[in-house]
Structure 1
Amino acid sequence: MKPFAYLRPGSVAEAVHASAERPGARFLGGGTNLVDLMKLGVETPGVLIDVSRLPLDRVTRTDDGGLRIGATVRNSDLAAHPDVRSDYPALSQALLAGASGQLRNTATTAGNLLQRTRCPYFQDISKPCNKRSPGSGCPAREGAHRDLAVLGHSPECVATNPSDMAVALAALDATVRLYGPEGERTVPVTGFHRLPGDNPDQDTVIRPGELITEVVLPPRPDGAASLYRKARDRASYAFALASVAVSLTVSEGRVAHVSLAFGGLAHRPWRARVAEDVLRGAPAGREAFARAVEAELEAARPLRDNGFKVGLARNLAVGALTELTSPATPAG
């Protein structure tokens, strides 16, 4: 690991100012991803700005009944929070599906959103990688890509976003609040992560010096139930081959509200807008669910070894939607 400086600012404004003065600085929360990447030589910041002790560790209700989640709230605390478990169970389930208990006790909300791909070529500095070294190439396209993208990839990059939490937040229409040198702004979670295009080194739309301060969830739609389901190679401590988060309301046998997002399939959580459009007003049954998900996954462009992900994602989504229409499934 290369030498680096360490700062512990006393306020959000001080942290942002310190970052603006030091190009290449990185904010440090739990460090569960950043420190690993520093050990691998993938990240080499000259300065770490420790924001873990800033007053950003609260979960509170908004005036309209939504939820405000501070950037440094630990994943384990958020998963166990009674308001999350009652109103946004998909978020609690997604958090508990990720990492290990020890990591969840350390990892933060903002850090989870900012974690980088687990593509083996990105993590190995002896290999070319457009995400790590723009213009060097993407050997994953012809190499080891079983776990990588089938949606939204480009000739430059086929990496996937590893976050479980972000998939649930995308389905729940969360927004990310940022504070930077130009002041505050809000970005929908669905627009926070980028598709790779020609610039796969840019994971998100964060501007230089900006700090995530909180994530805001809107009020749960009346009568909506939600859940998160994940398929992986082993039962625990593994990243998603495919995952799905769903929020659904059924009225008089028809879909009144639906939001659906996939994980493990693309460079960002994939909000399934096509499927949602097909489902609104449709009969709430397996046939309609299958038709809608098929329409969404027509955009898939699997590579040589990962075509199985399309069928896996289809089965997860249809199963999740069907489960939410079961009489035994409570609202939440």
Structure 2
Amino acid sequence: MQPFKYIKVPDTPAAIRAAGINQAKFIAGGTNVLDLMKLDIEKPRQLVDINQLSLYKIEELQNGGIRVGALVKNSDLAYNPAIKKNYPLLSEAILSGASPQLRNMATTGGNLMQRTRCPYFYSTDFACNKRVPGSGCAAISGYNRMNAVLGTSDHCIATHPSDMCVAMAALGAVIHVQGAKGTRAIPFADFHLLPGQTPHLEHNLKADELITHVELPPLAYAARSHYLKVRDRASYEFALTSAAVALDIQNGIIKAARVALGGVGTKPWRSIAAEQVLTGLPPNTASYQKAADTAMLDAKPNKDNAYKIELAKRTLVRALTTTGEIS
């Protein structure tokens, strides 16, 4: 770990000013960035502690949505009564990730910013375009059982690790940021970037911008939702596949749907095509299977992860089946 300066800031403007320093990093819970610093993957010259900022609120909005402060702990968000009632898939997603100790420290903003857990990214002995642009991708020719099959490129097949982000992708959340030039509202689908030829560029956030809050839109049928995670062991494990779904069922017909997948994409993977397939169909296995096939239509497997395609389809069918049975 290289030497760095550590400062605490009292408010958002001070945080933004401090972030203007070259290679500065914000830190809140530190559940990801500290590990990366210990491994000499992240090398900030300055850590900006933002824990004194007033970004801890979960607020119900007049339009029926909910505003979640960037410093809200994952545990607080998962157990919030309004979240459990109106967006159960989000609560389920958060509680399926990490451990209670980590969820008590990890923040909403930090979860949005967490980086891949690809083993080649974490090992500086191997080539990784995310870690060292232009060095190559050892995962493509290496052991890639856990890697992505959607949104990949010749430069990167790293899987996005977050559970929370899959649920937020399904909900169509909006991420609000503040920087030296003002504020921006970024649709969730535009926040995380596909690797393409620049896998080291992972998000649509400028160096001096700070995530202030996330807005969950009013979505009445999100109360009928579910998050299903398939993994190698029952706890403290990243997804092999996962699905976040919500269904609006009226008079025996699916009027609207939300579908997002985890464990298979280089970013939290919302499938609008699968949502469109479901709309107008009856809530049954045949409809769910059709949606699953559509969701994985563009999947590109590597030698060790082809199993993810069928597993993702089965995960999605099961999640939709469970959701369709919720009264």
Is the TM value for this pair above 0.5?
A: yes
Q: Residue 246 in 1 paired to residue 245 in 2?
A: yes
Runs of 4 or more consecutive aligned structure 1 residues displaced over 6 Å after TM superposition: none
Alpha-carbon separation, structure 2, partners of 1:227 and 1:151? 22
Q: CA, structure 1 residues 16+6, in 2 after alignment: closer, same or farther (shift >3 Å)?
A: same
Structure 1 residue matching 2:115: 3-state secondary structure: coil
Give 1:282's aligned residue. 281
Q: Residues 35-78 of structure 1, C-alpha deviation per residue, up to 9 Å, x if partnerless?
A: 00000110010000001121001101112111000000000111
Decide whether the 8 Å contact of 2:58 with 2:72 is kept in 1. yes
How much has 1:123 moved relative to structure 2? 0.7
Give 1:122's aligned residue. 121
Alpha-carbon separation, structure 2, partners of 1:223 and 1:97? 18
Structure 2 residue matching 1:214: 3-state secondary structure: strand
Alpha-carbon separation, structure 1, partners of 2:27 and 2:70? 11
How much has 1:220 moved relative to structure 2? 2.5
Aligned length: 327
Structure 1 residue matching 2:276: 3-state secondary structure: helix
Give 1:40's aligned residue. 39
Give 1:315's aligned residue. 314
CA RMSD of aligned residues (A): 1.0
Decide whether the 8 Å contact of 1:224 with 1:249 is kept in 2. no
Decide whether the 8 Å contact of 1:193 with 1:205 is kept in 2. yes
Q: Residues 196-224 of structure 1, C-alpha deviation per residue, up to 9 Å, x if partnerless?
A: 00000011111121100001001122575
Where in structure 2 are the equivalents of 1:85-234 lying within 5 Å?
85-222=84-221, 224-234=223-233
Q: CA, structure 1 residues 78+223, in 2 after alignment: closer, same or farther (shift >3 Å)?
A: closer
Alpha-carbon separation, structure 2, partners of 1:128 and 1:150? 20
Give 1:13's aligned residue. 13
Alpha-carbon separation, structure 2, partners of 1:289 and 1:308? 19
Alpha-carbon separation, structure 2, partners of 1:224 and 1:46? 44
Decide whether the 8 Å contact of 1:130 with 1:136 is kept in 2. yes
Alpha-carbon separation, structure 2, partners of 1:314 and 1:221? 26
Decide whether the 8 Å contact of 1:171 with 1:259 is kept in 2. yes
Alpha-carbon separation, structure 1, partners of 2:154 and 2:63? 44
Decide whether the 8 Å contact of 2:70 with 2:212 is kept in 1. yes
Instruction: Give the partner amino acid of 1:275.
Output: A
Instruction: Give the partner amino acid of 1:14.
Output: A
Q: CA, structure 1 residues 208+264, in 2 after alignment: closer, same or farther (shift >3 Å)?
A: same
Alpha-carbon separation, structure 1, partners of 2:64 and 2:188? 19
Q: Which runs of 5+ in 1 are unaligned?
A: none
Decide whether the 8 Å contact of 2:171 with 2:222 is kept in 1. no
Q: Residues 8-58 of structure 1, C-alpha deviation per residue, up to 9 Å, x if partnerless?
A: 1111111001111x0110000100000000001100100000011210011
Give 1:261's aligned residue. 260
How much has 1:95 moved relative to structure 2? 0.5
* TM-score w.r.t. length of structure 2: 0.98
* TM-score w.r.t. length of structure 1: 0.97
